[in-house]
Amino acid sequence: MTAVAALQIGTGVPPARILAFEDEMRASAASLVVLPEAVLGGYPRGEPFAEYFRASVTVPGPEVTELAGLAARTGAVLVAGVVERDGSTLYSTAVFLDPAHGLVAKHRNLVPTARERLVWGRGDGSTLPVVPTAAGRAGAAICWENHMPLLRAAMYAKGVEIWCAPTADDRDVWQASMRHIADEGRCFVISACPYEAAGDDPFRGGSVVVGPLGDVLAGPLRDAEGLVTAEIDVEDVVAARHSLDVSGHYARPDVFSLTVDERPRDGVTFLR
């Protein structure tokens, strides 16, 4: 058994605000903690682009390094949503921070939604990692990427055991989506949603941990900051997949197939 958690906190907070939960994270003994979408950089709210751009972070960069230090001190892998600046383009990105090795992987959101398209670029197939952790093999899908059936199929085929879902979706129906993914993929799901006490359209939370049969293990937490913690046993994934393994015995490759292009898609290629 091991503890995992979602840290429910606002978007666009300074690293120091996240570090303030260090003692609580230590006390939880969580080996993996998921943070909301855009916890660094902030969710776009219509502010001038230049202002929003200045609030973004580089990966790697000093703000990510501060969170990596938190991972090292607490012994927890952190999966955190950040607004990543690369050149003059911004991406909604999830970074994987290992206690011993720091930044080990990142995933860029493939399809920004609605107003996000005005400020965020689109990731490509080169950032679809599944990362070994003390809690199990962890992957990430950001917010409404979780509604992409083929992305889910690709991640299931990679053997994801802990599905990390940084999000800004605080609707009640999001809970149904998280439970469905856990049941469909026979994996644990940790979803971290932001909470904000004030503003024109504040987030009300909803962070949750779900087991591999769709059972809610902790949360959803509403209308407060805090750590949502649950004890999990990755062996439960093995038992759950006895009846349903969507990329194994429940697949029909003679009827359906999926090709995933994981090559980086740079706009310019220099041949020498």
Instruction: Specify the pLDDT at position 3.
Output: 97
Q: What is the pTM of this model?
A: 0.96
CA dist 110 → 39, 144, 157, 167, 241 (Å)? 18, 10, 18, 14, 28
Instruction: Specify the pLDDT at position 142.
Output: 98
Tens-digit pLDDT string for the chain (272 aa): 999 999 999 999 999 999 999 999 999 999 999 999 999 999 999 899 999 999 999 999 999 999 999 999 999 999 999 999 999 999 999 999 999 999 999 999 999 999 999 999 999 999 999 999 999 999 999 999 999 999 999 999 999 999 999 999 999 999 999 999 999 999 999 999 999 988 778 899 999 999 999 999 999 999 999 999 999 999 999 999 999 999 999 999 999 999 999 999 888 889 99
The neighbour count for residue 123, using CB atoms within 10 Å, is 22
Instruction: Specify the pLDDT at position 250.
Output: 96
If you search the block for the tokens 């090292």, which residue do you land on? Answer: 72
Specify the DSSP element, H or E, that contains 175. helix 173-185
Task: Copy the structure tokens of residue 260.
Answer: 């995933």
Instruction: Specify the pLDDT at position 254.
Output: 94
Specify the DSSP element, H or E, that contains 49. helix 49-55
| Residue 211 CB contacts under 8 Å (≥ 6 apart), including other chains | 182, 188, 217, 232, 236
Instruction: Specify the pLDDT at position 218.
Output: 98
> Domain map of the chain by residue range?
2-243
User: What is the DSSP secondary structure assignment for residue 127, as one 8-state letter?
Assistant: -
Q: At what angle do helices 149-157 and 173-185 cross, to 10 degrees?
A: 40
Q: What is the pLDDT of residues 161-187, one digit of tens each?
A: 999 999 999 999 999 999 999 999 999
Instruction: Specify the pLDDT at position 92.
Output: 98
If you search the block for the tokens 């390094």, which residue do you land on? Answer: 65
How many whole angstroms from its chain centre is CA 177? 14
> Contact at 8 Å (CB) between 177 and 146?
yes
Residue length of the chain: 272
> Residue type at 268?
V
> Contact at 8 Å (CB) between 255 and 161?
no
CA 202/CA 88 separation, integer angstroms? 28
> Residue type at 113?
T
CATH number of 2-243: 3.60.110.10
Task: Copy the structure tokens of residue 166.
Answer: 């940084």
CA 190/CA 217 separation, integer angstroms? 10
